[in-house]
Amino acid sequence: MKLQKSLNSGFVELIFGPRWTYIAAVRNFLQKFLFVTLEDVKSADLISMAASELLENAIKYASEEGTKISVKHFKEDDTLDLAVENYSFSDNIKILKEEIEKVNIGSPEEMYLFKMQEAALRTDGGSQLGFARIRYETCANIKLDATSDLVKIVVSFDLTKIRGRK
């Protein structure tokens, strides 16, 4: 085995069981790690917020053990990919597909506001506010890659945009 020494960008991969208390631990670790890697507290805060939302989902909607999170920084492009994987049930994956399609259309602000109005009326545990929040707060691109019961959500951040956004 060889150690990859050529990396001049940050890379993280973590695998753990679906337990709620991992979320804050991973969120706070990522915030610190990204602050060192990106040298920008705003990007670190917002990306770790997004990671936290994705991990909550991966744990809430998991059908079996195993949650994987990875973060890849592409220094040349000034972009970063955050990916979270879990197993889930087909009913949930169907909702997930529809939700991601929905939040990707229209203006992020309008969608977030719409989802806020909707959230107040929901009586189940969910808010369906997570993806709309990620997109609105970070202008990121959210993609879903689902093959049978394995779900992979990839959120791509344009770091130039995040730093420049007021």
Partner 1 sequence: MTTLDIKNFITDKVKIEFIEETIEKVKLDFIGELDFENPESVVFPFFNEIHNKVISNKVKCVEVDFTKLEFLNSSGLKTLIKWIKTDITLPEDNRYKFKIIATSKIHWQENALKVLPMLSPLLIEIKII
Ligand X SMILES: Nc1ncnc2c1ncn2[C@@H]1O[C@H](COP(=O)(O)OP(=O)(O)O)[C@@H](O)[C@H]1O
**Which residues of this protein are in contact with ligand X, per CB under 6 A?**
57-58, 61, 86, 88, 92-93, 95-96, 99, 126-131, 151
Question: Does 125 contact partner 1 by CB under 8 A?
Answer: yes
Question: Does 94 contact partner 1 by CB under 8 A?
Answer: no
Question: In 10 A of CB 72, how many CB atoms?
Answer: 17
Q: E strand or H helix at 143, and its extent?
A: strand 141-147
Phi, psi of 155 (to 5 degrees): -115, 120
Q: Which two tokens stand for residue 16?
A: 């753990």
Chosen from partner 1, ligand X, Mg ion, none, partner binding at 86 (C-beta under 5 to 8 Å by type): ligand X
Q: Are 87 and 60 in contact (CB under 8 A)?
A: no
By CB under 8 A, the count of residues binding partner 1 is 29
Q: What angle do CA 31, 70, 42 make, to 5 degrees?
A: 25
User: Which residues of this protein are in contact with Mg ion, per CB under 5 A?
Assistant: 57, 130
Q: Which two tokens stand for residue 57?
A: 């989902």
Chosen from ligand X, Mg ion, partner 1, none, partner binding at 146 (C-beta under 5 to 8 Å by type): none
Query: Where along the sequence are the contacts to partner 1 (CB under 8 A)?
Result: 20, 23-24, 27, 41-42, 45-46, 49, 52-53, 56, 60, 109, 112-113, 116-117, 119-120, 122, 125-127, 129-130, 133, 136-137
